């Protein structure tokens, strides 16, 4: 195992099918707190097991929407950073396939230019109706933050299109993610603690298929010992952008 950005570039140059998974660490440089680490961590401010559940939403939808709208406002006030930009640039390379899977719900990958992002845990920018199944962009609803958003089709109170504790992942998103990693000859895992399943199991599908794994994270994770290359340098994205441009 090496810790060398040049080795990552070599693997990217020789790859045909690339699958990438990102976590909260990717958005940290944009000024969005991670969930677990540091004094500003989201889970230091709320108890997620009490707030981010269907039971909590049924009991107090206003409080749950308040948290999501706050995170949405924060996301909109920030911009993509070099990590988002380099992944958008990698997507434009002539790979046979390139799939970006994210655990993040902030929408910054799309704003950086990535297309077809598989959002495993949903998005704070969408809402869905549990009664009639409609999915809405919050921007399209003309939402007033003081009022609970309601379905234009049936009038039901909408819920954030975010995966909460106890929820199942969207089966289509999960299946597409699993297929991408199973077919990849190179998997990149960036800025994730690799502690949340089933997301943390995706890179193992690449390894089982004989592919290689790159982990980019300043901290050790449960995946670290399986990585062919590890990058711990916080400036990795700037370095990789420079390599792609030269």
DSSP string, 134-203: -EEEHHHHT--TTS--B-TTT-PBPEEEEPPTTPPPPHHHHHHHHHHHHH-SEEEEES--S-STTGGGHH
pTM: 0.92
Topology annotation, domain 1-30+80-121+169-246: Rossmann fold (3.40.50)
Peptide bond into 198 cis (omega under 30): yes
Instruction: Give the whole-angstrom CA distance, residue 84 versus residue 109.
Output: 6
Domain ranges of the chain: 1-30+80-121+169-246, 33-77+123-162
pLDDT for the residue 41: 46
Over residues 104-145, the pLDDT tens digits come to 999 999 999 999 999 999 999 999 999 999 999 999 987 666
Instruction: Give the whole-angstrom CA distance, residue 65 versus residue 164.
Output: 12
pLDDT for the residue 1: 57
pLDDT of 15 > 90? The answer is yes
pLDDT for the residue 147: 79
Over residues 46-68, the pLDDT tens digits come to 666 678 899 999 999 999 999 89
Collapsed DSSP state (helix, strand, coil) of residue 116: coil
pLDDT of 44 > 80? The answer is no
Contact 241, 90 (CB under 8 A): no
Over residues 127-138, the pLDDT tens digits come to 999 999 999 999
pLDDT for the residue 9: 94
pLDDT for the residue 45: 56
98/35: higher pLDDT: 98
Average pLDDT of span 13-17: 97
pLDDT for the residue 43: 44
pLDDT for the residue 244: 79
Q: What is the mean pLDDT of the chain?
A: 91
pLDDT of 21 > 90? The answer is yes
188/31: higher pLDDT: 188
pLDDT for the residue 242: 86
Q: Looking at domain 33-77+123-162, which CATH architecture does it have? A: 2-Layer Sandwich (3.30)
Q: Find the Cα–Cα–Cα–Cα dihedral 97, 224, 2, 95, rounded to 10°.
A: 0
Beta bridge partners of 213: 187
The answer to whether domain 1-30+80-121+169-246 and domain 33-77+123-162 are alike in fold is no
- Strands 186-190 and 17-22 turn out to be parallel
Instruction: Give the whole-angstrom CA distance, residue 246 versus residue 243.
Output: 5
pLDDT of 75 > 70? The answer is yes
| Whether 125 is catalytic | no
Q: Where are the alpha helices (DSSP H) in the chain?
A: 5-14, 42-45, 48-51, 54-59, 61-77, 82-91, 108-111, 138-141, 171-183, 202-208, 236-245
Choosing from 68, 84, 109, 121, the catalytic residue is 121
Over residues 170-216, the pLDDT tens digits come to 999 999 999 999 999 999 999 999 988 999 999 999 999 999 999 99
Contact 211, 185 (CB under 8 A): yes
């Amino acid at each position: 195992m090496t810790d060398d950005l040049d080795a990552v570039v070599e693997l990217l140059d020789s790859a045909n099918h690339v699958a990438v998974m990102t976590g909260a660490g990717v958005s940290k440089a944009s000024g969005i707190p991670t969930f677990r680490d540091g004094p500003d961590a989201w889970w230091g401010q709320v108890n997620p097991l009490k707030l981010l559940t269907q039971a909590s939403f049924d009991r107090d939808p206003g409080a749950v929407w308040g948290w999501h709208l706050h995170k949405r406002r924060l996301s909109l006030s920030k911009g993509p950073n070099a990590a988002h930009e380099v992944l958008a640039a990698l997507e434009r390379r002539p790979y046979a396939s390139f799939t970006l899977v994210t655990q993040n719900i902030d929408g910054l990958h799309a704003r950086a230019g990535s297309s077809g992002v598989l959002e495993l845990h949903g998005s704070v920018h969408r809402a869905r109706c549990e009664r009639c199944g409609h999915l809405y962009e919050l921007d399209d609803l003309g939402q007033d933050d003081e009022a609970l958003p309601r379905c234009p089709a049936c009038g039901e109170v909408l819920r954030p299109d975010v995966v909460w504790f106890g929820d199942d992942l969207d089966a289509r998103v999960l299946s597409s993610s699993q297929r991408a990693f199973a077919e990849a000859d190179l998997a990149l895992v960036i800025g994730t603690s690799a502690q949340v399943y089933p997301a943390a199991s995706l890179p193992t599908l690449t390894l089982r298929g004989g592919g290689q794994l790159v982990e980019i994270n300043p901290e050790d994770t449960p995946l670290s010992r399986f990585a062919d290359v590890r990058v711990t340098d916080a400036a990795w994205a700037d370095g990789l952008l420079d390599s792609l441009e030269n």
